[in-house]
Copies of this chain bind each other. A is one copy, B any other.
Amino acid sequence: MDFRFVMNMTIKMMDTMMTMPGMDMMAMNEMIEACAACEQACTMCADGAMMSSDMGKCVSMCMNCADMCNTMMRAMLRPAGYDMTAMMAMMQACVAMCTACADECKMHAGMGEQYDMCAEACMLCAMACQKMMDSMKSMMSA
């Protein structure tokens, strides 16, 4: 399977669906991608394989972040269910959760490359959600 399969399929499939007119499809796709990446990174980071006794907070925050990113990604993939107030509040929650998780992971940066990678995935996801929110806000005020 071609590694670009997921991304291409998601873009093509979203094109066949009715989303909001004027929506920034590039920002949307980057956000979905960033949520998927962050869920995977956080799930791996929380895996017991790399665990030491003082990692309890990191593990639990990573699991929260994986769940929030999956919930956000799915909501974004359901255009029929868009409610702007709820979507905005969920993106705000995703930004807050990713930022908190990135801060926690960065504290363990010296203990293994995986913490840096997870922190990076979290920050990219927070940025992608913020960009999507800005785009939606300017759409609504237009």
State the A residues within 8 Å of B (CB).
Answer: 1, 3-7, 9-10, 12-14, 16-19, 30, 32-34, 36-37, 40-41, 43-53, 55-64, 66-68, 70-71, 73-75, 77-81, 83, 85-86, 88-90, 92-93, 95-97, 99-101, 104, 112-114, 117-118, 120-121, 124, 128
Contact = CB atoms under 8 A, between A and B. Distances in A.
A63 B56 contact: no
Given A51-B55, A83-B104, A86-B100, 6 more contacts: A18-B49, A57-B81, A63-B78, A86-B96, A88-B96, A89-B97
Contacts of A18: 49
17 contacts: A6-B33, A9-B37, A9-B41, A13-B114, A18-B49, A43-B74, A44-B78, A47-B56, A49-B80, A51-B80, A57-B81, A63-B78, A85-B100, A86-B99, A89-B89, A89-B92, A93-B93
**Identical subunits present:** 4
A37 to B, nearest CB: 4
Given A53-B53, A85-B96, A100-B86, A47 B60 contact: yes
